[in-house]
A and B are shown apart, each in its own frame.
Chain A
């Protein structure tokens, strides 16, 4: 399932996938895979993404 929340939060901060990848110290393809729902990140990477986008884990990774 696609993670549109990460994509929206990233777009909201006007960051490209490459920008977010550099902040989180991962490859652009990894951010792309997370947004497409092809990869489930570790809690460590989830936290790094949340910090980079000023969001909480619930905001980005909790499914209702």
Chain B
């Protein structure tokens, strides 16, 4: 396929993804706003989580740089190396934000947020399975960019699990405090 045409297809895919994300966010938020509402403590905690994610990303890219200097070659396509770095940072951010009660905003609810993640997971399962069936994960001994759907799927499932754990812990903590 012509590389220019491929870029157009990728951009179209990204655009559709953004539109789906906007629709899901508008549906999920209690005031149907694109903007999340957070109180002062949540903003502070989110800031600290972003900081941790930033340093994780920085550390990851420094490691990649050093390995590259040592002429170490990963059997992984470049796009996937970038995606893994981004995913690692996101996982650090989400974990810290969730466990400091700063991930779900004042205009969001656990159930609705989980619904969004379930839809996102389903949207990623189809290409992941399709790529697996087509055998396009490994090309010439190199893990290809198509494996990205599996990484995203793993990240979504991880976020769903830690959100559920935190939700259960918060429920218990709340009932303890009120009693």
Interface residues of A (CB under 8 A from B): 16-18, 25-30, 32-33, 35, 39, 41-42, 44-45
**Residues of A with C-beta under 8 A to B173:** 32
Cα distance A29–B105 in the bound complex, in angstroms: 11
**Residues of A with C-beta under 8 A to B178:** 16-17
- Taking the nearest CB of chain A, how far is it from the CB of B92, in angstroms? 20
Interface residues of B (CB under 8 A from A): 39-42, 101, 106, 170, 173-174, 177-178
Quick check: A25 and B174 within 8 Å, CB to CB?
no
Cα distance A25–B31 in the bound complex, in angstroms: 14
**Shortest Cβ-Cβ A-B pairs, 9 listed:** A29-B101, A26-B39, A30-B41, A39-B41, A30-B39, A42-B40, A16-B178, A27-B39, A17-B177
**Residues of B with C-beta under 8 A to A26:** 39-41, 106
Known: A17-B174, A29-B101, A29-B170. A41 touches B40 (CB 8 A): yes
- With contacts A27-B106, A30-B39, A30-B42 known, what are 5 further pairs, Cβ within 8 A? A32-B173, A33-B41, A39-B41, A41-B40, A45-B39
With both beta carbons as reference points, the residue of chain B lying nearest to A22 in the complex is identified as B106
- Taking the nearest CB of chain A, how far is it from the CB of B165, in angstroms? 15
With both beta carbons as reference points, the residue of chain A lying nearest to B42 in the complex is identified as A27
SS of B interface (majority):
helix
**Residues of B with C-beta under 8 A to A35:** 177
**Residues of A with C-beta under 8 A to B174:** 17-18, 28, 32
- Taking the nearest CB of chain A, how far is it from the CB of B128, in angstroms? 35
- Taking the nearest CB of chain A, how far is it from the CB of B63, in angstroms? 34
Residue in A30, A32, A42 whose CB lies within 8 Å of B177: A32
Cα distance A64–B41 in the bound complex, in angstroms: 25
Quick check: A45 and B177 within 8 Å, CB to CB?
no
**Residues of A with C-beta under 8 A to B101:** 27, 29-30, 33
Cα distance A33–B41 in the bound complex, in angstroms: 9
Cα distance A41–B43 in the bound complex, in angstroms: 12
